Each structure stands twice: as C-alpha cells, then as structure tokens.
Amino acid sequence: MQTLFGRLYLAALTSVSERDLIFDLTCLQKRSARKKFRRQILDEWGCCAYCGRSKPSTLDHVVPKARGGKTTKENLIAACGACNLEKSSQPWFEWYRAQDFWSPEREERILRWVNQPQVLPPVLVPTFWSQQLLPLTA
C-alpha cells in the first residue's frame, strides 16, 4: 500500500509503523525499506547485544511477539543466531541474567535501547492542502 504526500511515497508495512520506514525522506519499496530498517539496527549494535559476538545475523524481539512485542526499532536488537534461538520467547531479562556471558554493561545498553524516546517524523502536508489550510485574510 502506498500513499502519496506531494512527491513523497511512503511504503506501509503491516507490522512496522510508517515512522520506521522513512530514511532521509527517501522513497523506498517495501522490500528495500525492510532491508534498510534491519541493516540500520544491525549496524547500530555492531555485535550481539547479549553475548557480544561480532557480526550478528539476526534481530531479536526483546519483548517476544508471542508475548505481545511489536516489530519496532525500540523492541529489536541485534543478536547472533545462537542467542536468538536459545532465548526464544522467554523474557529477555530473566534469560540474559542466567547466561555465563551476562554483562552489566550490555544489559544497561539493552535497557537504554528499549527505553529510547520515540522520534516522530514531521507531518507532511501536500502543497494543495497546505494552501487550503492557510488562514484566510480579510
């Protein structure tokens, strides 16, 4: 589904909000938006959020989808395949604290990540409508 705002097209996904699909106000197809969204999170972490292995290959839902977690940037962290598979749908805090590789620094980083403020994009109004919304002068 695509929506036209002036000359900007926003691809809408069912599981990801539109604010997560806007990258430098670039027009993206659904598949490209997903790849860029995923790559952005993997690059920001640089290593598995849990064990610290380099080059994580998966994204883990901190609050699992099975427990009502959403597919948003704040709920996705980079994880190696082994950690993602082992954690499964367990609560991350309990699972992570039981691991030999638990680290208070990595735990704090995960907490900062999931509690980061949500930044909403500016509202885009097509030129035609912005002219209609201007106050009328007498």
Distance separating alpha carbons of residues 68 and 79, to the nearest angstrom? 19
**pLDDT in the model for residue 118:** 73
**pLDDT in the model for residue 65:** 93
CB-CB contact of 19 with 70 (8 Å): no
Q: First CA to last CA across the chain, in angstroms?
A: 41
**pLDDT in the model for residue 73:** 92
Closest CA to 57 of 73, 41, 71: 41
Tens of pLDDT, residues 49-86: 999 999 999 999 999 999 999 999 999 999 999 999 99
Res 114 pLDDT > 50? yes
Domain ranges of the chain: 2-116
